[in-house]
Amino acid sequence: MGPGPINAYPRVLQAMSNQLIGQYDPVMTGYMQQVQQLYRGVFNTSNEATLLIDGTARAGIEAVLVSALKPGDKVLIPVIGRFGHLLCEIAYRVGAEIRTIEVEWGEVCDPALIEKEIKAFQPKMLATVQGDTSTTMNQPLAEIGEICSRYGVLFYCDATASVGGNALKVDEWYLDAVSVGLQKCLGGPSGSAPITLSDGFVNEISKRRHIELGLRTEQHSAGSEPMIRSNYFDLPMILDYWGEERLNHHTEATTMLYAARECARLFLEEGENAVLDRHEVAGQAMAQGLETMGLKLFGNQKYKMNNVVGVYIPQHIDGEAIRSELLNLFGIEIGTSFGPLHGKIWRIGTMGYNARQEAVLSTLAALEAVLVKHKAAINTGVGVQAAMTCYAAHFQAQSVLAK
Amino acid sequence: MGPGPINAYPRVLQAMSNQLIGQYDPVMTGYMQQVQQLYRGVFNTSNEATLLIDGTARAGIEAVLVSALKPGDKVLIPVIGRFGHLLCEIAYRVGAEIRTIEVEWGEVCDPALIEKEIKAFQPKMLATVQGDTSTTMNQPLAEIGEICSRYGVLFYCDATASVGGNALKVDEWYLDAVSVGLQKCLGGPSGSAPITLSDGFVNEISKRRHIELGLRTEQHSAGSEPMIRSNYFDLPMILDYWGEERLNHHTEATTMLYAARECARLFLEEGENAVLDRHEVAGQAMAQGLETMGLKLFGNQKYKMNNVVGVYIPQHIDGEAIRSELLNLFGIEIGTSFGPLHGKIWRIGTMGYNARQEAVLSTLAALEAVLVKHKAAINTGVGVQAAMTCYAAHFQAQSVLAK
């Protein structure tokens, strides 16, 4: 029950024990096409360029940034938490010129501020995080997308922590590039990074297209702009590998592709609305349970992600001792925190397979028991009840809707 | 039965269906330590810095090159096949100054030539491939290691295709950095790249050590040299993540770690000598079967890898039609080839789980049947027999040794 990675869905685990298939076997290339189509569903997009990067979520981030940004290109980055810093860090190494908009941790960035900075800085790209687990905030994107589209700025978003538990409408919100991971609400393991790229973004990076030495023939046309600084993260090459010609690049990570495929199938079978609802009620029940217990929540609750909540560690309580007893006595892991929040808040996740009533209720019950053991000043016997009430109201509303 | 990826060992598939564990759970960090120790065994090294890169085999290559080579640093690369070109390609993007030694496909590089070029070019690093599946050649490394050590040149080797099926003695051969993948003789999926780095190599890259923005504290000392151009492949950061402080970098790809762990356990349980023997006899039996059938082998057989053989497509035979019938009628995949060999040879693998007598014999029987169907001029009824004879001699020699 941490901020991710989390327990995987049993069907995802099962999928990963399937025997491998050769990368050019028609069954495998068929699976690759299925994965592209499935993630168009997850991302709410019709982008042809929808595929997997073989690596953890930050591999997807680096692939987007290193392919789009040449040394000297300008990028504007709102920093709402640790993962905003990560975008800066990666963009810096790519050689980009960076301007940041720093936002107090626990808040999100005002679109008006973004418009102002776009006018002043005239960036090639705006790069932002949607859900930043370090602060539990979920940055609204629709307005920012509209602004970027109006000013002709490429709009990239890292939605690793939010995808599958919070709305993400790539086409409707004018997103040009989105990268995610499986290990949060999609209920899979870390190690595969689905991405989607708009046609405009693909046009842009195609200027740097290049065919690998030893695979090049005279039919292959190269782009006019400088080569991308990474081979592994060269998106035009990766597009050629996933495309019709299936030009060899890496050897696709077969098992991780099985996992990614199963995560998306589960999401689409349950249905986007049902999955988001399930995350929303789990998040609400967890938050209300904690508050009713007398604990204080962190950050602007209006913008909290559905799938993770920050909660202040009560005074005079050793946060790490509580975490360790939860793990050792109950087998439940909750998260510590980074940077300015380190030692001040815990982060509790309700995502993917763990966005279930039983997981929420048992976590609240276990946390209460451990806090009582440590003589924390909390309200006993009411936290779990509040979460149950929250779920009951949700199920009733659902059954009314069904009639 | 292609040049990889191949079928995984059943125990590896099983390991990948295990439930995930949080990245800082003591069980998980314990597994990480086990993996380090297991791969020291696989690599025959005492290198402390032995760990996994989360990505396919070329992720391991890029991590080594981008961390060690600053723009302008000189690297000498013997090119014995396609994957030598890949090293050049990656080193070029890193900004290195490259000199290559081109070797005719089907041969290996003479150490004397390497010494001559080291004297003339004075590189910081020599980067080579051990087994290059594109040509089936296995570059001898012991002498080259001795030369590099004598001239103070960092010696890096990509041993993806050869590890686990051909001898690889990291410490004895003075290798400074080695990267591999699981999808060849180790019998696992693509998607995890074990690497090992000598203390000297670690010293060198530590000059570029850097702590991520948002994780940095005053206790952390940074290196004096320019920052590594990639965050994802920043080896000093990855070492900090695997090290005692467990400083957050990526989220370790749990399932791939399970796979890597099981691959190494299988290798060490069976025992290095037994595994190498099994690959040697499988390779011999396959080669003798093909030759006895009247087919011509590709390349200098003295230096052939144990785990893959190149065989000329008989005249007037459509190589792709044969491959496709083998796949569709027998469920057996063999490999096509790259670059100058494309359309001229097939590549047939005998590695990992497929380095078994039944796999070798069935492949030869199936290939014979399909070639006969296509009216190829081959000797019938003798190829499989030759392979059986080869195995019988091997088992007899083993039983004599056992007495």
Contacts with A123 (C-beta within 8 Å, 6 or more apart), sequence order: A74, A75, A76, A99, A153
Integer distance in angstroms from the first to the last C-alpha of chain B? 34
Give A214's contacts in chain B (Cβ within 8 Å): 82, 85-86, 134, 338-339
Integer CA distances (angstroms), A104 to A81, A228, A300, B26, in order: 8, 34, 11, 33
- State how far the Cα of A241 lies from the Cα of B58, in Å rounded to an integer: 14
Give A92's contacts in chain B (Cβ within 8 Å): 227
- Determine, for residues A190 and B58 on separate chains, whether the beta-carbon distance falls below 8 Å: no
Closest CA of chain A from B396, distance in Å? 33
Q: If pLDDT is split at 50, 70 and 90, which confidence band does B282 have?
A: very high
- Determine, for residues A19 and B6 on separate chains, whether the beta-carbon distance falls below 8 Å: no
Integer CA distances (angstroms), B359 to A49, A123, B31, B366, in order: 38, 58, 33, 11
Give the pLDDT of residue B212: 74
Average pLDDT, chain B: 95
Please check whether residue B34 is in contact with residue B155, taking contact to mean a CB–CB distance below 8 angstroms: no
- State how far the Cα of A354 lies from the Cα of A65, in Å rounded to an integer: 32
- Determine, for residues B58 and A231 on separate chains, whether the beta-carbon distance falls below 8 Å: yes
Integer CA distances (angstroms), B222 to A86, A349, A382, B73, in order: 18, 34, 49, 21
Give the pLDDT of residue A217: 64
Give the pLDDT of residue A21: 92
- Long-range CB contacts (within 8 A, 24+) of A363-368: A363/A1, A363/A286, A363/A332, A363/A334, A364/A286, A364/A289, A364/A290, A364/A293, A366/A326, A366/A329, A366/A330, A366/A332, A367/A290, A367/A293, A367/A322, A367/A326, A367/A334, A368/A293
A to B CB pairs, distance under 8 Å: 202
Q: Does residue B217 carry a pLDDT above 70? A: no
Give the pLDDT of residue B215: 65
Give the pLDDT of residue A53: 98
- Determine, for residues A20 and B5 on separate chains, whether the beta-carbon distance falls below 8 Å: yes
Q: Does residue B246 carry a pLDDT above 70? A: yes
Q: Report the residue from A55, A66, A214 with minimal CB separation from B339.
A: A214
Integer distance in angstroms from the first to the last C-alpha of chain A? 34
Buried b (16+ CB within 10 A) or exposed e, B99-110: ebbebebbbbbe
Given this structure, which CATH class describes domain B10-268?
alpha beta
Give the pLDDT of residue A215: 65
Q: Report the residue from B23, B82, B93 with minimal CB separation from A227.
A: B93
Q: What is the mean pLDDT of residues B231-242?
A: 96
The first and second tokens of residue B401, run together, are 């040794």
Please check whether residue B62 is in contact with residue A232, taking contact to mean a CB–CB distance below 8 angstroms: yes
Cβ neighbourhood burial of A72 (10 Å; 0-12, 13-18, 19+): exposed
Contacts with B386 (C-beta within 8 Å, 6 or more apart), sequence order: B285, B288, B289, B291, B292
- Determine, for residues A181 and B251 on separate chains, whether the beta-carbon distance falls below 8 Å: yes
- Determine, for residues A190 and B252 on separate chains, whether the beta-carbon distance falls below 8 Å: yes
Q: Report the residue from B16, B19, B251 with minimal CB separation from A183.
A: B251
Full DSSP string of A383-403: HHHHHHHHHHHHHHHHHHHH-
Q: If pLDDT is split at 50, 70 and 90, which confidence band does B162 have?
A: very high
Q: What is the mean pLDDT of residues B201-225?
A: 80
Closest CA of chain B from A255, distance in Å? 6
- Indicate the domain borders of chain A: 10-268, 272-402
- State how far the Cα of A160 lies from the Cα of A138, in Å rounded to an integer: 11
Give the pLDDT of residue A403: 80
Nearest CA in chain A to B71: A229
Give A6's contacts in chain B (Cβ within 8 Å): 20
Q: Does residue B170 carry a pLDDT above 70? A: yes
- Phi/psi for A41 (5° steps) reads -65, -45
Tell me if residue A62 falls in helix, strand or coil.
helix
- Determine, for residues B54 and A190 on separate chains, whether the beta-carbon distance falls below 8 Å: yes
Each residue's pLDDT, cut to its tens digit, for chain A (403 residues) gives 999 889 999 999 999 999 999 888 899 999 999 999 999 999 999 999 999 999 999 999 999 999 999 999 999 999 999 999 999 999 999 999 999 999 999 999 999 999 999 999 999 999 999 999 999 999 999 999 999 999 999 999 999 999 999 999 999 999 999 999 999 999 999 999 999 999 999 999 999 998 776 666 666 667 778 899 999 999 999 999 999 989 889 999 999 999 999 999 999 999 999 999 999 999 999 999 999 999 999 999 999 999 999 999 999 999 999 999 999 999 999 999 988 899 999 999 999 999 999 999 999 999 999 999 999 999 999 999 999 999 999 999 988 888 8
* DSSP class of A297: B
Q: Report the residue from B16, B56, B339 with minimal CB separation from A17.
A: B16
Give B13's contacts in chain A (Cβ within 8 Å): 16-19
Q: Are strands B137-138 and B131-132 parallel, antiparallel or unpaired?
A: antiparallel
pLDDT by residue (tens digit) across B90-148?
999 999 999 999 999 999 999 999 999 999 999 999 999 999 999 999 999 999 999 99
- Determine, for residues A227 and B25 on separate chains, whether the beta-carbon distance falls below 8 Å: no
Please check whether residue B321 is in contact with residue B343, taking contact to mean a CB–CB distance below 8 angstroms: no
Give B214's contacts in chain A (Cβ within 8 Å): 82, 85-86, 134, 338-339
- State how far the Cα of B258 lies from the Cα of B9, in Å rounded to an integer: 13
Q: Does residue B255 carry a pLDDT above 90? A: yes
Dihedral over alpha carbons A242, A243, A248, A253 (to 10 degrees): 10
Q: What is the mean pLDDT of residues B177-196?
A: 98
Return the amino acid letter for A390.
C
Integer CA distances (angstroms), B57 to A184, B22, B128, in order: 25, 25, 14
List the beta bridge partners of residue A101: A78
Cβ neighbourhood burial of B300 (10 Å; 0-12, 13-18, 19+): middle
Query: Check: CATH 3.90.1150.10 for A272-402?
Result: yes
Give the pLDDT of residue B218: 64
- Determine, for residues A5 and B13 on separate chains, whether the beta-carbon distance falls below 8 Å: no
Give B232's contacts in chain A (Cβ within 8 Å): 55, 58-59, 62, 90, 233
Q: At what angle do helices B57-68 and B235-242 cross, to 10 degrees?
A: 110
Distance of CA A79 to the CA centre of its chain: 16
- State how far the Cα of B152 lies from the Cα of B136, in Å rounded to an integer: 30
Q: What is the mean pLDDT of residues B217-227?
A: 75
List the beta bridge partners of residue A349: A308
- Determine, for residues A231 and B18 on separate chains, whether the beta-carbon distance falls below 8 Å: no
Full DSSP string of B306-342: TTEEEEEPPTT--HHHHHHHHHHHH----B---GGGT
